[in-house]
Structure 1
């Protein structure tokens, strides 16, 4: 994670017209040796789950309202979330659809705007464990987006949901067009991820006792 933040500092120091545009996140999986055929992008998953596009104006207002009440995401610049809106895809997803599958490679994160999503993990010995049921404004899948690793858990819609999706490609666009804003977002995502992993780790440890 420190390596990512270091690269972000380098990127934000570049001039906006620097010819070395940011491709930090969209090329990260290839840099880790992951074959492109193994990668599940949002465009493919959207088709699989029957996603329907949600107007950006509607989804953006929901995202702004939810993150404005989050003690971490509210640290973004006053107009930051509004400026981010154009980098997100917004969609409605039916119930009982796998947005994220455990152990796959995926280069997008999901923010539930309405509805509930289950976060489940199959342990190495075969036990099925429910880690959480989301609330609107939570963030899912950011770990793989940030570190180019496999998905730790599966995320399944329990109800019809409205979601915001940020992919590696559009995060790189943000890095090029609004580098300070992108750096702030990634730093906050890393902080929230660290806190959540501590909670999940504690829960898994308690479950094994």
Structure 2
């Protein structure tokens, strides 16, 4: 975008010309005598006409330059220009048109009234022939004055016709769709129809994805799982916070609206894809299926499906890398020992610095890992990580008994399963060799977390990485192996 015009440098040349020609016109009689004495009366008359015509054209030139300065003057961020470009073009045409009639009337001594009458008839004929184009032009002027949308805004003129405003000219508005194609919309159509501006009044707007689940799934649990997916989906704004509502209850199940905010309409398709994918992932981890179409007539009412209590627990345990070396019967033993905890949003699952001897597996919901560094004010802990379904935290306290290195707070309503040291102790006593594998896996996990913190610029918040032999010694000492 070119820099704003300097008023003094932009207006000085036409102003000098106007002053010079005005002075020459005021002394026309004196100049006529001098030119007539040298070149004759014909040349003097022609020189007088040329000075008069040039004076009016110079005045029109100066007027158009004043419009340029007004249109291109700097404005505060977010404020529209004083005069839209399209209106400025119309005013510039009127200025030169007025100068033309002034030349005809005052310089050439032509009957302007008759010319205006003839021009009126001609304009009426042309106006009838070009009525649609003229309507588009005046609609463009109205759009530039009211400014319901601007260059760069995302608008939807009709269902399926949406794009980013690329140009607003005399006759039409050009949109660039998300597919990269151009849509040309006459200004008359845009001004005379209802359209949606996704970029006003703010840059963000809310969208929704409908999800249908069986009525057998408790509403509170369905909302918890869907909300955790929204919080974890890429592209969803954290503020305003997403939410989940029950839209309707139908024959096929309960329809939920997973509502979220998007920063830019151009990212809507990608954001919907991320939301839908994350919802399917979280539903799968929770063992919840989408509703299937139901038959209108049933011979008998089927019994509600019930989940085997240990199935989800075994699944959560088996997917943890930490217990990859454990046998199936050992996994079953630990799964049966898990303690189920429901954490309302805002509940502190573990607090930094407190003693602990258990780990937690996230089954539903989202939890934030926060760490308070030295010198940081109370309640100003930094967000270190985000725990999602299938993630585990507190393993260092379980294996070594060290205090909690960070606080974990429920971002949404959550369900976690707790595994205590007393549950793991019998397994390690039967198979002490598992301690070595646990120490190696913990060292690898700490190393990966440290590299991730460095990539995110939060290396100072991550706990120090311990060597495998140090972890093994601490583990054996804690379990007295």
* Alignment equivalent of 1:163, drawn from 399, 416, 419: 416
Does residue 186 of the first structure (1) align with residue 438 of the second (2)?
yes
Determine the structure 1 residue equivalent to 2:368. 118
Cα shift readout 1:13-34 (whole Å, capped 9, x = no counterpart): xxxxxxxxxxxxxxxxxxxxxx
Measure the CA separation in 2 of the matches of 1:148 and 1:74: 21
Higher mean C-alpha displacement, 149-158 vs 191-200? 191-200
Q: What TM-score do you get using the length of structure 2 for normalisation? A: 0.28
Cα shift readout 1:43-84 (whole Å, capped 9, x = no counterpart): xxxxxxxxxxxxxx63x4223324444566445434442232
Does residue 129 of the first structure (1) align with residue 379 of the second (2)?
no
Superposition deviation, residue 87 in structure 1: 3.1
Cα shift readout 1:142-181 (whole Å, capped 9, x = no counterpart): 12222332211100111222211111222223323x4369
Measure the CA separation in 1 of the matches of 2:444 and 2:313: 19
Q: Which residues of 2 match residues 141-180 of structure 1 at below 5 A?
A: 141-176=394-429, 178-179=430-431
Question: RMSD in angstroms over aligned alpha carbons?
Answer: 3.1
Measure the CA separation in 2 of the matches of 1:193 and 1:155: 17
Aligned length: 150
Q: What TM-score do you get using the length of structure 1 for normalisation? A: 0.58
Determine the structure 2 residue equivalent to 1:205. 459
Measure the CA separation in 2 of the matches of 1:174 and 1:135: 27
Q: Residue 76 of structure 1 contacts residue 184 of structure 1 at CA under 8 Å; is this kept in 2? A: no
CA change 1:171–1:73 in 2 (3 A) is closer
CA change 1:144–1:90 in 2 (3 A) is same
Tell me, what secondary structure is at the counterpart of 2:392? coil
Q: Residue 80 of structure 1 contacts residue 181 of structure 1 at CA under 8 Å; is this kept in 2? A: no
* Alignment equivalent of 1:101, drawn from 329, 332, 351: 351
Measure the CA separation in 1 of the matches of 2:427 and 2:322: 19
Kindly indicate whether structure 1 or structure 2 has the higher relative contact order, using CA contacts under 8 Å at least 6 residues apart: 1
Q: Residue 87 of structure 1 contacts residue 170 of structure 1 at CA under 8 Å; is this kept in 2? A: yes
CA change 1:201–1:61 in 2 (3 A) is farther
Q: Which runs of 4+ in 1 moved over 4 A?
A: 69-75
Superposition deviation, residue 125 in structure 1: 2.8
Q: Which residues of 2 match residues 1-150 of structure 1 at below 5 A?
A: 58=309, 60-70=310-320, 73-126=323-376, 128-150=381-403
Tell me, what secondary structure is at the counterpart of 2:393? coil
Measure the CA separation in 2 of the matches of 1:101 and 1:81: 28
Superposition deviation, residue 103 in structure 1: 1.3
Measure the CA separation in 2 of the matches of 1:184 and 1:85: 22
Measure the CA separation in 1 of the matches of 2:443 and 2:424: 14
Q: Residue 171 of structure 1 contacts residue 182 of structure 1 at CA under 8 Å; is this kept in 2? A: no
Which of structures 1 and 2 has the bigger CA Rg?
Answer: 2
Superposition deviation, residue 99 in structure 1: 0.8
Tell me, what secondary structure is at the counterpart of 1:106? coil
Tell me, what secondary structure is at the counterpart of 1:111? strand
Q: Residue 316 of structure 2 contacts residue 361 of structure 2 at CA under 8 Å; is this kept in 1? A: no
Tell me, what secondary structure is at the counterpart of 1:81? helix
Measure the CA separation in 2 of the matches of 1:96 and 1:66: 24
